[in-house]
Amino acid sequence: MDKIYVNQMEFWGYHGLFPEENKLGQRFYVDLELELDLKPAADSDDMTKSIDYGAIYEVTKKTVEGKHYKLVETVAEKLAHELFGEFPLLQGCLVKVYKPDPPIPGHYKSVAIEIYRRRET
Catalogue the active-site residues: 99
**3-state DSSP call for residue 59?**
helix
DSSP bridge pairs for 99: 111
Q: Which backbone phi and psi does 54 adopt, to 5 degrees? A: -65, -40
The single-letter DSSP state of residue 77 is H
79, 115 in Cβ contact below 8 A?
A: no
